[in-house]
Homo-oligomer: A and B are copies of this chain.
């Protein structure tokens, strides 16, 4: 079992990331070979003029990784832009996809609309499904953890590898299996949208106890639950949404729900409970992160070591691929 997973380095990671992917990675690293790509070049496809922030973002994401328990002895963390073999494979794959097919990719279509690119889509953004296929396939992974919205990307990847196998009369690549994360969506503290940095509705893995407190206190509960004695609603109550996910004492939680519904349970009691649960989860991460931030050299050494190891792996793969394509001439 070999896993390829990773992130664009766009800033600090939050609880949505933790639940959607980081937690799984901590599990996966004990049962599979795991490569974690920090996709800085992919981040540049819609922020090519802001590359000066990447270094800091990479440092930050690696701290987050290690803070949640990703162990660089078990998982290989590397930086996309330092693996030129990924660029080479992207160029090879570009011959195997038509412009028309790319235009039909639903993920790309949606993102082009969302970012308002229209006619002025940069080629790098337009073609990033091909780069992504290369990022994945260079590692010949058996499984790819993804959110449900990423399924079209996996389909595109499988199309490309089949085309490669057909064109070069080989069976080098095998279909990639998506592993769809059970919790693919954590709602933000606004209770409306998916937790995301840009919507300013996120609880970060580096948040202080006070920040957690402030954010939980902002959460909507039930606007008709005015006095403590009023009966309150559990559905659509953001605090209960979070408790459902993070409160491990399911029995007590059921009691609390009943109590809230019949009245007599104040929001503050619930919020205090949630604050304490979230802080118990985040505090050790925050502390580990704090230590890591002070040891810049150690963190960069982890990245360097992982990237060098990946480079060797990648060189071996690209040599095999060039041999199949008959362009390994000597």
Contact = CB atoms under 8 A, between A and B. Distances in A.
Interface of A: 40-41, 44-45, 48-49, 51-52, 54-55, 58, 79, 81-82, 84-85, 87-88, 90-91, 94-100, 102, 119-127, 130-131, 167-168, 300, 303-304, 318, 322, 325-327, 329-330
B330 A304 contact: yes
Contact of A125 (B95, B120, B325): B95
B121 A44 contact: no
Contacts of A41: 91
Copies in the complex: 2
A270 B40 CA distance: 66
Given A81-B322, A90-B91, A120 B97 contact: no
A59 B168 CA distance: 22
A134 B127 CA distance: 17
Contacts of A94: 122-124, 127
A274 B155 CA distance: 61
A48 B93 CA distance: 10
User: Interface on chain A toward B: helix, strand, loop, or mixed SS?
Assistant: helix
B95 A119 contact: no
Nearest to A301: B330
Contacts of A58: 329
A282 to B, nearest CB: 28
A135 to B, nearest CB: 11
Nearest to A122: B95
Given A84-B88, A88-B84, A303-B330, A124 B100 contact: no
A322 B55 CA distance: 12
A120 B100 contact: yes
A193 B168 CA distance: 35
Given A48-B167, A49-B167, A326-B52, A99 B121 contact: yes
30 contacts: A40-B327, A45-B95, A48-B167, A51-B168, A51-B325, A52-B326, A54-B327, A58-B329, A79-B329, A82-B329, A84-B84, A84-B85, A84-B88, A84-B318, A87-B87, A87-B91, A90-B91, A94-B122, A95-B122, A95-B123, A95-B125, A98-B122, A98-B123, A99-B122, A100-B120, A100-B121, A123-B130, A127-B127, A303-B329, A304-B330
A326 B51 contact: yes
